[in-house]
Amino acid sequence: MMETLEGAELCFPQLNSSCKKPTHPHTEAMLIYVLLSSISLITVALNLLVIISISHFRQLHTPTNLLLLSLAVSDLLVGFLLMPVEIIYIDTCWFLGDFLCTLYYVVDYIITSASVANMVLISVDRYVAICDPLCYPTKVTKRRAQICVCLCWVCSFFYRILLLNDHMEQPGRSNSCSGECVVVINYMAGVVDLVFTFIIPFAVIIVLYLRVFVVAVSQARAMRSHVAAVAALRSGAVTVKKMEMKAARTLGFVVIVFLLCFCPYYYPTLAGKDTSVNASAAAFEIWLAHFNSCLNPVIYVFFYPWFRKCIKLILTLQILKPDSRDTKLI
C-alpha cells in the first residue's frame, strides 16, 4: 500500500529517476491559479488593446507608437505564451520532454530581452523628442524606428541562442530527475546576462530620464521667466512646480517598477550564485519579472489621452465603421 502511494506521488512511477509531483494544499493551489490566471488575462487584454489601437488608427502610425507596438507585442507574448505554461505546471510535472523545455526557455528569454530592449528604445525616443525637438522629425523616422525594432528582435534572438547554447546542444542537462523542467545558468553566463539585460538597459534608462528631467525643469524655468514678464509670477511658479513634480514622478515610477520586477530574478547572480529557473515551480521572481509585461501598457500607454479614446472606440465597436481608421484622436 505504501509503495502504491509513493508511486502515485511520482511523475513517472515506472522510472526510478522520476521526480516527485509538486504538491500544494487545495485552497492555496486554487488561489494561485486564480491570481496568476487573472494576471495573464489582464496582460493579454491590455496589450491587445494597445496593438489594435496603434495598428488600426492612421493618426497613431508614428515612430514612437511603432516602438510602443513592438513593446506591446513582446508583452502580449509573455501573457499569451509564457504565463499559461507556468500556470499549468504549478501543480503537475513537466511531461513535454527536454527539448520543449529548453525551447520554452529560449522563447522566454528572447521575448523578455526584446521587451527590455523596447523599453530602452522608447527612452531614447523620448530623450530625442524632448532634448532635441527641432531635429527629432529628421532623426527619428518611421523607417528608422522599423529598423530599430527589427534589430531589437534579431539581436535578442541571437543573443539568447548564444547564451543558452549548452542547453540547446544538450537539452535537459540541468534536470535532476525526470518530469522536471529546469535551466541553470552558470555564474559567468549569469554575469553577462546581468550586464546586458539589466545593468546596461537600466543605466541607459536612468541617464536618459535624468536628462529629460533636467531639460523639462529648464524649460519650465524659462516658461516661468516669460510668464513673469507678461503676467503674474505666481501663475508661473505653479506651472513650474507641476512640471517638476510630473517629471520626478514619471522617472521614479519607471525606475522603481523596473527594479522591483527584475532585481529578485538577478539576485542569485548579484550574490555570486548560479541562476536556476524552474518552470514547474512558478517561482516568485520569474512571475514578478513577467508581471512587468502587465505594467508596461499602464506605464507607457495609459498616460496617453488618446489611448482612453481608443479603448472606448474599440469596446463600442466603433472601429468597425468604414472611416474609423481616420478618426482624430490627438
Q: Are 227 and 236 in contact (CB under 8 A)?
A: yes
DSSP code of 319?
G
- Confidence at 239, pLDDT banded by 50, 70, 90: very low
Q: Quickly state the pLDDT bin for 252 (edges 50, 70, 90).
A: low
Task: Give the model's pLDDT for residue 273.
Answer: 56
> pLDDT digits over 190-209, tens only?
788 888 888 888 888 888 88
3-state DSSP call for residue 163? helix
Predicted local confidence at residue 229, as pLDDT: 54
pLDDT in tens, 65-96: 898 899 899 999 999 998 888 887 777 778 88
pLDDT at 236: 46
CATH, domain range 27-197+275-326: 1.20.1070.10
Burial class (CB within 10 angstroms; exposed 0-12, middle 13-18, buried 19+) of 328: exposed
Cβ atoms 149, 121 nearer than 8 A: yes
- Confidence (pLDDT) at 7: 46
Q: 20 in helix, strand or coil?
A: strand
Count other Cβ atoms within 10 Å, centred on residue 97: 12
Say what the pLDDT of residue 11 is. Answer: 77
Q: Which residue has the higher pLDDT, 190 or 149?
A: 149
Give the DSSP per-residue string, 36-104.
HHHHHHHHHHHHHHHHHHHHH-GGG-SHHHHHHHHHHHHHHHIIIIIHHHHHHTTSS---SHHHHHHHH
Q: What percent of the chain has pLDDT over 90?
A: 12
Q: What is the pLDDT of residues 158-191, one digit of tens each?
A: 988 888 887 777 887 777 777 777 777 777 777 8
- pLDDT on residue 5: 39
The residue among 250 and 149 whose pLDDT is bigger is 149
Helices (H), 164-199: 165-169, 187-194
Given pLDDT bands bounded at 50, 70 and 90, which one contains residue 157?
Answer: very high
At 146 the pLDDT is 93
Please state the rounded mean pLDDT for residues 125-141: 84
What is this structure's pTM? 0.81
Give CA–CA dist 192/188, Å, rounded. 6
- pLDDT score recorded for residue 242: 54
Specify whether the CB–CB gap between 177 and 18 falls below 8 A.
Answer: yes
